[in-house]
Amino acid sequence: MRDAESGCKVDRRVVNNLVVNVGKQQVADLLIGASTTSFSFCAVGSSNQAPSPSDADLIQPIGRKQVTDRFRTANKATFSTFISSQELNGTWRECGLFTHQTGGVMLSRAVFSPEIVKDQSKTVTIDWDIEVT
C-alpha cells in the first residue's frame, strides 16, 4: 500500500489464500476446454470470516476491479491489480479472485488480519500468486 501524495510504501502484506471448490472446478473446465473464461477480476470485502472450501463469493463485498496484469512464471500464475486512491475505499478484511465483474466464479479467497483501511490517501496493488503443484 502506498501513500497517494508521497508515493511512499506504507504497508506490505503476504497473506495465504484458499483455492475454493468452485475455483478448482473452473480450472478443470479450462483444462478440458469446457470453458474459456479465466480469472480476471479482484474483489475486496469487509468480512473477517475464515475462508472455507465451499465459499463461492466474498461474505461482505465492497467491490471488484479488473486485474491490471496477468502472467506466468514457470508453474506460478500472477494476477496483479492496481487500485487507485479513488477506488474501492473502505475497511478491507477479505479479497477474492473472480472470472467476472459481477457474479462469476471465485478461484480463491483470503482474509487480512489486521484489516486494511483503504481511503483516498492510499493506492494499493494486490498481487495474487497461484502456484500449480
Residue ranges per structural domain of the chain? 2-131
What CA–CA distance (Å, rounded) separates 58 from 43? 8
Q: What is the mean pLDDT of residues 104-130?
A: 95
pLDDT tier for residue 1 given thresholds of 50, 70 and 90: low
All three cell numbers of 45, joined, read 470485502
Provide mean pLDDT across the span 49-58: 97
Which pLDDT score is estimated for 6? 74
Element at 119 (helix H, strand E): none
Is the dihedral angle over the CA atoms 11, 13, 75, 61 positive or is it negative?
negative
Q: pLDDT tens digit string along 56-98?
A: 999 999 999 999 999 999 999 999 999 999 999 999 999 999 9
